[in-house]
A and B are shown apart, each in its own frame.
Chain A
Amino acid sequence: MSDIILEMKNITKDFSGVKALNNVNLKVKKGEIHALCGENGAGKSTLMKVLSGVYPFGEYTGDIIYNGEVCEFKSISGSEQKGVVIIHQELALIPYLSIKENIFLGNEQSKKGIIDWNLTEKKASNLLKTVGLAVSPNTLVTQLGVGQQQLVEIAKAFSKDVQLLILDEPTAALNEEDSKNLLELMKEFKKQGITSIIISHKLNEITEVADNVTIIRDGKSIETLTNEQIDENRIIKGMVGRDLTNRYPDRKPDIGQKIFEVKNWTVHHPIDTKRKVNDNIDFYINAGEIVGIAGLMGAGRTEFAMSLFGKSYGHGISGQIIKDGKEIKINNVSDAIKNRIAYLSEDRKNYGLNLLQDIKENITIASLSKIAAQGVIDKEKEIIEAEKYRDNMRIKTKDIYQNVASLSGGNQQKVVLGKWLMSEPDILFLDEPTRGIDVGAKFEIYSIIEQMAREGKAICIISSELPEILGMCDRIYTMNEGRFTGNITKNEATQENLMKLMTAEEAMI
């Protein structure tokens, strides 16, 4: 095996005691397309950041052997000099600069500090030809679609004599056609002898382009599948293969009547207004039921919940919302709250809490009318209410006057849960309710959720963690590319068939 371009040996990387990568090994052959697969948080992106010098030498242990020599990259530019270029999930282009300026950003074609614009333009248009992008290099990046921006990123990579191209979820934000073009382009590069590593959740794409697939699970490299072994079921089995221990509260569901229903829900992207983020979704939930929405990142789950919650996301929203048998109109968040709908955001710090205020003020903000008369807040009543929810949510603090910024993730999440419980909702959408929370606190959050369902509330959990979905939910919707692809009961669901549904192109109900 002399044609190995890259070998990563026993890579270990920890974040303040938590091992994100644990003795990971990866071998990539020259000129191949190598795929990295794993669940969210398995460590794929971390591994690529180690390789590209985002986490410099010294912050990890293990060896990177590239082109036969051990490399110690101290920064991104260090790895780029050797021809290793990474294109991140979030594009790093500057919107109000032109394509040519972006391509040569930090690598300006200049003599004695003066930029040679003619040379820049010539080189840029050649690069654009290579990646098959037929626009002028003087176009501003902001005028391009996401797919075209991705191509500009790749052109930028090529301006640096790339030998090893790393693409982190390159098609996550692209529509079908753009994705197809990108995959074709990767095959074209392969012919030219360029090696690529692709991280993707879309297994159909991986089976189409990858020569070898390395599977990472819980920060460990599990196995490498070679060409003839690659098939979606095989990959899923490798990605999942984990035992479910008893990490969830006992649940004896007592499911009542249908209380909430959504029909033909369609939502467009707020900027790219032609793109459908949610496409004709039908959804219902019963009182006392816990329903999950499983899907990969970018499937449109958060967008679904937020667009329902007072049109907090999206453009050109259409569809029907029916609550307790009657059609209702929800135009803003306070309408949603009045109709007893709550939405707990996946982004606790930016969308959930006011970090300048204390626990009490964060709990009561969505229900001020309950503690006020004629617009004047009854402070005593506020304290009594806040104390009640601190108790119910088991928020562990000295008092309710503590600033929420100083709380642990678990306690912060309980404050947000308390806020929404105080609004007395019938339906709660919980978006990644345990993200960034310790294992111990997770169980408590699950218990609170279970208890809310027992009290007759309808709960919809959106989660990227399949074990969580399987452990908590009575019924599970799967979602892919803005559409619901499945609706199965807890008994029918396994990680394997969920994963299959989550990556399915069409509804497979």
Chain B
Amino acid sequence: MEQLGDKKLEIKGNTREKKTIKDIVLDILSKYSMIFILIAILIAFQLLTDGILWRPLNITNLILQNSHILVLAVGMLLVILLGDVDLSVGSVVAFVGASSAVMMVQWQWPPFVAIIVSLLIGGLIGAWNGFWISYIGIPAFIVTLAGLLSFRGLTQVILGGTTLAPFPVAFTKLSSGYIPDFFGEGGLHITSILIGLLLSLLAVWNMWKVRKRKKDNLFEVESVVWFATKVAIMFVAIMLLTFVLASYQGYPVILILVAVLVMIYGFLTTKTTIGRQVYATGGNRKAAELSGVKTKKLTFWIFVNMGVMAALSGLLVASRLNAATPNAGNGFELDAIAAVYIGGASASGGIGTILGAVIGGLIMGILNNGMSIMGVGIDWQQAIKGLILLLAVAFDIYSRKRKAT
């Protein structure tokens, strides 16, 4: 019987080599489906907004306005990979924003100290959630729903129902500062272009190094043409974005921050034992436990991390609005969760990527931005975003099914 199975495999392998062009295109489409959706949306809005979308000012605004969601989505991805969810992050955003305002506006603490303390507060809130979830065994949905209510309430207690403002100027630079141009001649932001060039060359070099090491160890590598295409696309994408940004004020500080976070968490999920254990736990908690993964401890720390990310997001929001308001972060948890799902994560855990979550966040952001430029009302924006979420996930499930058969 096993023998028979073997033959079947061989036949399958053969047919796989004789793929038609249509199959190849469909394969690439489904493997990089989220990137294609992102590109399609970029092009669609570029046309619909008569070219306003890609104007340097607008792209810069797009980044400034959505970074907090990307930060939340990165943290949320890890939580969702475990098969859990965190509904409290929107309220934590408000709570941390309010606490930081108390520290900086009322108590006149230096921003640097206030930022550190705020991140610690976020970590403590995460530890609080994580404790009930992993050591007491209450479902994450319930614990964080309680958090959603409590921290919103506490925010109002701290602020006394009013708004605290303004923050020290240095703090507002966190969300609205730019990399200074050392070759300040006006026009193109030369420093940013140099940084962009350096970054893209670094990325290319890294890709080439990985490929070479694989080859040296006699592993299979992708064809030269395909490798070159990938490198070229990445190079062009980074440089295009760099030029657009450079023709306004250059790289925003926050873009660098988000990029570094994405790289760190991308590395964490794909290259480290912790990342592997998160995927294993989300895929089958009992099997992971019986393979020596300390799933309770892992869950606890993932929630601590989520708390810190929510705090960072809260600081970004407070800094951008230059005020702490009781209603800050309302509904952010849903935006973050939607971004993660649009990015191809599975609600039951074990499937999803950082890149996917970031692309999901960008898709949401571009939808917001594009529709606002077009003058679509908030009401219709909500409705359309809901529909896009549904369609994106439906497409993902469809392409996964196609791959399975």
Our verdict on whether A and B bind, yes or no, reads yes
A interface with B by C-beta (< 8 Å)? 309-310, 312, 332-334, 336-337, 343, 345, 350-357, 361, 364-366, 368-369, 372, 375-377, 379-380, 383-384, 396-398, 408, 410, 419, 438-441, 444
In the complex the two chains form, is A438's CB within 8 Å of B287's CB? no
- Which residue of B13, B290, B292, B351 is within 8 Å of A398 (Cβ)? B13
Given A376-B271, A377-B271, A396:B292 Cβ within 8 A: no
- CB of B163 within 8 Å of the partner chain: no
**Interface membership of chain B positions 215-229, coded 1 if the CB is closer than 8 angstroms to chain A and 0 otherwise:** 001010000000000
Are A380 and B219 closer than 8 Å at their CB atoms?
A: yes
* One of A334, A353, A380 near B294 (C-beta < 8 A): A334
Q: Which B residues, 192 to 228, have Cβ-Cβ distances below 8 Å to chain A?
A: 213-214, 217, 219
Given A309-B290, A368-B273, A438-B1, residue A397 in contact with residue B284 (CB < 8 A): no
Chain B residue numbers with a CB within 8 Å of A438 are 1-2
The distance from the CB of B45 to the nearest CB of chain A, in whole angstroms, is: 34
Q: Is B27 an interface residue (CB 8 A)?
A: no
Distance in angstroms from A500 CB to nearest chain B CB is 34
**Given contacts A380-B214, A398-B9, A398-B13, are A333 and B2 in contact (CB under 8 A)?**
no
Q: Quick one: which of B2, B273, B283 contacts A369, CB cutoff 8 A?
A: B273
Q: Is B385 an interface residue (CB 8 A)?
A: no
Note all chain A residues with C-beta closer than 8 A to B280: 354, 357, 361, 365
Q: Is the CB of B294 within 8 A of A332?
A: yes
A375 and B279 CA atoms in complex are apart in Å by 15
Within 8 A of A (CB), among B250-271: 271
Distance, CA A353 to CA B3, complexed state (A): 23
Inter-chain CA distance A454–B254, complex, in Å, is: 61
Is B293 at the interface (CB under 8 A from chain A)?
yes
A-B contacts, 23 listed (Cβ < 8 Å): A333-B289, A350-B287, A351-B290, A352-B290, A353-B284, A353-B287, A354-B283, A354-B287, A356-B346, A357-B279, A357-B280, A361-B279, A365-B280, A365-B288, A366-B291, A369-B273, A376-B272, A377-B276, A398-B13, A408-B2, A408-B5, A438-B2, A444-B2
Given A354, A380, A439, A444, which contacts B217 in the complex, CB threshold below 8 Å? A380
Least Cβ distance of A371 to chain B in Å? 9
The answer to whether B213 and A377 touch across the interface, beta carbons within 8 angstroms, is no
B residues 301-348 touching A (CB-CB < 8 Å)? 346
CB-defined contacts of A441 to chain B, threshold 8 Å? 1-2
| Beyond known contacts A333-B291, A383-B219: 7 more, CB 8 A cutoff | A354-B284, A356-B346, A365-B276, A369-B273, A372-B273, A376-B271, A438-B1
Q: Which chain B residues (1-43) contact chain A, with CB distance < 8 Å?
A: 1-3, 5-6, 9, 12-13
Q: Give the residues from 148 to 189 in chain B that come closer than 8 angstroms, CB to CB, to chain A.
A: none
Closest to B346 in A: A356
B277 contacts the other chain (Cβ, under 8 Å)? Answer: yes
Best-surrounded residue of A377, A384, A444 (most CB of chain B within 10 A): A377
- Please name the residue on chain A nearest to B289 by beta carbon: A333
CB neighbours of B214 from chain A (8 A): 380
Cβ contact within 8 Å between A396 and B290? no
Question: Number of residues in B with C-beta < 8 Å to the partner?
Answer: 35
When distances are taken between beta carbons in the complex, the residues of chain B under 8 Å from A383 are 219
Q: Give bound CA distance, A34 to B251, whole Å.
A: 84
Query: In the complex, A396→B274 CA distance in Å?
Result: 30
- Nearest CB on A from B325, distance (A): 40
- For residue B9, give the distance in angstroms from its CB to the closest CB of chain A: 6
Residue pair A334, B9 in contact (C-beta under 8 Å): no
Give chain B residues whose Cβ lies under 8 Å from the Cβ of A334.
Answer: 292-294
Report how far A333 CA is from B281 CA in the complex, Å: 14
A336 (CB) vs chain B CBs: closest residue: B292
A-B pairs, 5 with minimum CB distance = A354-B283, A356-B283, A334-B292, A366-B291, A368-B273
Bound Cα distance A352, B285 (Å): 10
Closest to B277 in A: A368
Contacts A375-B272, A397-B9, A441-B2 given; indicate if A354 touches B350 (C-beta within 8 A): yes
Residues on B with C-beta less than 8 A from A354 are 279-280, 283-284, 287-288, 350
Bound-complex Cα distance A473 to B219 (A): 41
A419 to B6, CA, bound (A): 22
Chain A: minimal CB distance from B270 (Å):
9
Q: Which residues, 111 to 147 on B, are CB-close (under 8 Å) to A?
A: none
* Residue numbers in A under 8 Å from B13 (CB-CB): 398
Is residue B55 contacting chain A, with contact meaning CB distance below 8 A?
no
- C-alpha gap A425/B234 in the complex (Å): 45
Q: Could you say which residues of chain B place their CB within 8 Å of the CB of A345? A: 287, 290
CA distance A157 to B13 in the complex (A): 55
Of the candidates B213, B276, B286, which one forms a contact with A351 in the assembled complex, judged by CB atoms under 8 Å apart? B286
A368 partner residues in chain B, CB cutoff 8 A: 273, 276-277
* Smallest beta-carbon distance B403→chain A, Å: 10
Chain A residue nearest in CB terms to B285: A354
B289 proximity list for chain A (CB < 8 A): 312, 333
A379 to B267, CA, bound (A): 12
Which residues in chain B, 330-386, are within 8 Å of chain A measured between CB atoms? 346, 350-351
A333 to B291 CA separation, bound complex (whole angstroms): 7
Most chain A CB within a 10 A radius of its CB, from B272, B283, B286, B290: B290
Alpha-carbon gap, A397 to B351, bound state (A): 23
Q: Which of A343, A355, A364, A439 contacts B290 (CB 8 A)?
A: A343
B276 CB contact (under 8 Å) in A310, A361, A398: A361
B284 x A337 contact (CB < 8 A): no
Docked pose: A170 CA to B287 CA in angstroms: 30
Q: Within the assembled complex, what's the spacing in Å between the Cα atoms of A380 and B213?
A: 9
Chain A residues whose CB sits within 8 angstroms of the CB of B273 once the complex forms: 368-369, 372, 375-377
**Shortest Cβ gap from A271 to chain B (Å):** 14
Bound CA–CA A444/B3 (angstroms): 12
Interface centre among B214, B282, B289 (most CB of A within 10 A): B289
Contact indicator per residue, chain B 49-75, by CB within 8 Å of chain A (1) or not (0): 000000000000000000000000000
Q: How far is the CA of A440 from the CA of B4 in the complex (A)?
A: 11
State the Cβ distance, A448 to closest chain B Cβ, in Å: 14
Report the bound CA distance from A419 to B272 in whole Å: 18
> Is the CB–CB distance between B350 and A396 below 8 Å?
no
- Pick the contact of B283: A355, A410, A439 (CB < 8 A): A355
**Which residue on A lies nearest to B275, using beta carbons?**
A377
What CA separation (Å) do A352 and B280 show in the bound complex? 11
Closest to A369 in B: B273
